[in-house]
Amino acid sequence: MSDVPLLGVEEEFHVVDLESRRAAPEVDALLAQLDGAEFAPELQRSLVETNTPVCGTLDELRGNLTRLRARLESVAEPLGLGVVAAGTVPLAEAGGDAVSAGARYEKMQHEYQLLVREQHICGAQVHVDVPDRDLAVQVVRRVAPYLPILLAISASSPYWNGRDSGYASFRSMVWSRWPTAGPPAHVETAEDYDALVADLIASGTISDPGMVYFDIRPSAHLPTVELRVCDACPDVDDVVLIAGLFRALVGKAREDTEAGLPLPDSRHELLRAASWRAARSGLEGDLVDLVGPTLVSPPLLIGSLVDQLRPQLEELGDWEQVLELSQATLVRGSAAARQRRAFGRRGELADVVDVLLAGTQGRTPEAEPPATVPCTPGLLVGYHRDGGERAAFDEAVSEGGTVLPHYGWLFRTLDRLGPRGMAAAQSALHTEQRARGVTFRVDDESERLFPLDLVPRIITAEDWAGLTAGLAQRLRALEAFLRDVYGERRIVADRVVPAAVVDGAPGRSRSGRLVPADAVRVAVAGVDLVRDRADHWYVLEDNLRVPSGIGYSLISRRLIRSAMPDLEAPAGVVGVESVPDALRAALISATEPDAAGHDDVAVLSAGPSDSAFFEHRLLAGRMGVPLVTPRDLQVGEDGVHLVSSGARRRLSALYRRLDERELLTAKGADLRPIGRALQNAVARGTVALLNALGNGVADDKLVYAYVPQMIDYYLGEDVLLDNVPTYPCVDPDRRAEVLDRLDELVLKPVDGYGGQGIVIGPQASRSELAELAEAVRADPAAWVAQDVVQLSTHPTFTDGRLEPRAVDLRAFVFQSREGERTNVEVAPAALSRMAPADSMIVNSSRGGGAKDTWILR
């Protein structure tokens, strides 16, 4: 681009009465005081349009947009009116007889009837200079596949006629009814385009070229290409972002045309489908990537687009501004989501209009405190049916049946859905899971859908801050313990942890001694947390070998958004999109940074037979790394290689997702066991295996009891996250106490997993307790006991209503090496697991399920 293309924006606004917050057909009163060169009427007398001057920079554009909005407000406010930039305004009576005067508008009303009467919608149109009309037609075709992304950024119209439409941009649905609305025509020259317009006029479908309402078109009255797909945006930042991206897209399209590159072959039907998806989801659900096509999360798709346009943005001087605006928009979410959050505070559409009025003028609205929401009769009837002093602490519903304030907005949405709406959402969820293959397997059973509940769990910023500090501390101590017990064994020599506990640990392995001394042994930890009746958090279990669940925590967010798009997350929810990149970075950090191919990593799985194979595929795909099985590997003195189609590719790190014993006995590409060769490769440092072999010595139920002592011994710090009080049965004094209190305690096998073998004393029969006592006496080292923790509960949708179910939280901690330092990062994704009715065992293998978990900043 030798010359910087100029640009301009036409914005449409709703006029509203400041007292009633309803759309007001009073535009004539405004226009009487405004400059006709910059302000104009629209089809409805409750709408007004502004036109910026031609601008050369985004800063100049921002200044003009802000100036015109301020001028509108200065005229409107003395008249008791306000202006709203949004696709729709919630309080408007679509279908009323308030069409603007003029022969053209009167003709349109006669011809198109209800379409005209319901045209209470506003858009933002961006013009970019393309003086040559043949070139303009080519640019239109090349830019069209990217328009759904711009629509999603602009989405600001969830409400229609006083009701939530379920869409992020319902304006798009209203607009799509016009006969020429939608993706542009497949023409390649200006002559073809003009002939098409002439045919449309001759057919009586439209009356003039200005009624060609394609999502993008050569302008009917200016030497520009015009973007028409977007909603009007409350935030000027979003308009500037869209204008910056569109100008860069036009620039790239011009370059591709001049270079003779072929036109994209995007089918009209797919373009419409992608636009529909953007209108449905906004930035809160998946979008269609037309290269595939496939569903992709908005941060990935928008980030990819910005990166792709970097050369054009840099040449225009827009790179830093567009990058910053795109990141801020993704954090802020769509205007549609912000409107739904405003409604959720008190259930008042007037609050939504207030947010739009403030946003249009660049003000931050005064936030109303969340209201306490009364019991929802259809969903919460009998919720606290057990009651009494033994009732668990419920995280969302008070003992009196009111919803706690930070869940208020969520329950207002659930109340609108009601039992039938939630049942329909549950059916949609299961359909989406089948389509995506979100399954798991228990032992030798056939695959089943991953059990996911509709009601998300919220972790407050205060809770998360405390958990993050405690989790990081715990992982630092456990990493130090692993290095020590496979090295000098100082903690044993100093009698902090008994030698019998370490040497008798079922997960202790000779392979642990082969790991290089400076290597990170726990790249990914899964730590299970619970909170009790007093709202106190405890660590229940550490998982340092092959912790699962992180992939399910990522897909849960997307599934719930898809099944219930109008269930918007509250402000400040931490996104999970960065988690795969953080995991990949942790894996790469274990390799030698100067070595060739140091970033060649792979996910190592047992294959489709693994119960969590879906998760393995998901994480490999999100990280952009291969998914391999032992049969794909060739291990020799020169390292570990992926063998595929006769080619060999060296791998520097393997993210291990199968059991140590299974891995060491597995056969490689040459059909020989790879165990010894792999151990040698780890010892030589030619491959990093993560998590490391031998980590099981640090995460069994007996060693768990000594983690507080590890924190004191290695770190010299006070414990931030408590253990559940634990009694090792191998200790004679503790064993005697446990046998006396079997009916009060929880007994766990030291090497148990997945909830297997657990006996909850208060729920056990006399015969079960007698058998348990014999097992403890026969092999005390195989058992530990813990106090019963009355797990907190959370509303769970089942059988047409909400019921309290016990929950825990699996948090994920990444460790990476940076020089001689080990960095610890708590991932902003966690998996809430829920128990079946009348149970406290949350494992999915025992009938439990999971919830999407929303962590607040």
Residue corresponding to tokens 């053209």 = 104
CATH code of the domain in which 49 resides: 3.30.590.20
* Domain-terminating residue out of 690, 716, 750: 690
Position 389 scores a pLDDT of 43
Q: Does any domain span residue 645?
A: yes
Residue 609 lies in a domain: yes
Q: Which residues neighbour 75 within 8 Å (Cβ) at sequence distance 6 or greater?
A: 30, 33, 34
Q: How many other C-beta atoms can be found within 10 angstroms of the C-beta atom of residue 314?
A: 13
How many whole angstroms separate alpha carbon 370 and alpha carbon 366?
Answer: 12
Helix (H) or strand (E) holding 362: none
The residue behind tokens 């597995």 is 666
Contact 181, 214 (CB under 8 A): yes
pLDDT at 21: 93
Yes or no: say if 247 and 304 are a contact pair by the CB < 8 Å rule: no
**Looking at beta carbons, which pairs linking 665-670 to residues 24 or more positions away fall under 8 Å?**
666/606, 666/629, 666/630, 666/631, 667/630, 667/631, 668/630, 668/631, 668/633, 668/634, 668/635, 669/631, 669/632, 669/633, 669/634, 669/643, 670/634
Segments forming the whole domain that contains residue 56: 7-355
Which residue, of 323, 355, 387, is where some domain finishes?
Answer: 355
- Residue at 797 is within a domain: no
| In contact, 49 and 85? CB cutoff 8 Å | no
Judge whether 758 and 726 are in contact, CB under 8 Å: no
Prior bond of 708 cis (ω within 30°): no
Q: Give how many domains the chain has, as a whole number.
A: 2
> Is 478 a domain residue?
no
| Measured distance CA(429)–CA(852) in Å, rounded | 13
Task: Give the other-Cβ count within 10 Å of 666's Cβ.
Answer: 18
Residue 187 region by backbone torsions, left for phi larger than 0, else alpha for psi between -120 and 50, else beta: beta
- What pLDDT is attached to residue 255? 95
Is there a domain that residue 564 lies in?
no
Q: How far apart are CA 103 and CA 417, in angstroms?
A: 45
Tell the burial category of 773 from Cβ atoms under 10 Å away from its Cβ (0-12, 13-18, 19+).
middle
CA angle centred on 486, ends 482 and 491, rounded to 5°: 70
The string of pLDDT tens digits covering residues 350-406 is 999 999 999 999 987 665 555 555 555 567 777 865 544 446 889 998 887 788 888
Query: What are the helix (H) ranges across 644-688?
Result: 660-665, 675-684
Structure tokens of 38?
């910059």
What whole-number distance in Å separates Cα of residue 565 and Cα of residue 340?
11
b/e 171-209 (16+ beta carbons within 10 angstroms → b): bbbbbeebeebbbbbebeebeebeeebeebeeeeebeeb
Residues of the chain where predicted confidence (pLDDT) is lower than 50: 1, 387-390
For residues 216 and 191, what is the distance between their CA atoms, to the nearest angstrom? 17
Amino acid at 565: P
Residue 779 has a pLDDT of: 92
The Cβ of residue 62 has, within 10 Å, a number of other Cβ atoms equal to 18
- We report the CATH number of the domain holding residue 643 as 3.40.50.11290
What does each C-alpha distance from 628 to 613, 620, 646, 653 come to in angstroms?
Answer: 11, 9, 15, 12
Q: Is residue 756 part of a domain?
A: no
* Beta bridge partner(s), residue 125: 10
Instruction: Select from 340, 355, 370 the last residue of a domain.
Output: 355
Widest CA span in the chain: 98
Helix (H, G, I), strand (E, B) or coil at 806: strand
Strand partners, 49: 12, 40
Instruction: Please check whether residue 234 lies inside any domain of the structure.
Output: yes
Nearest Cα residue to 693 out of 701, 706, 681: 681
* pTM (predicted TM-score): 0.76
In Å, how far from its chain's centre is CA 791?
A: 27
- Could you tell me if residue 294 is inside a domain? yes
pLDDT digits (tens, 9 = 90+) for 400-424: 778 888 888 788 888 888 888 899 9
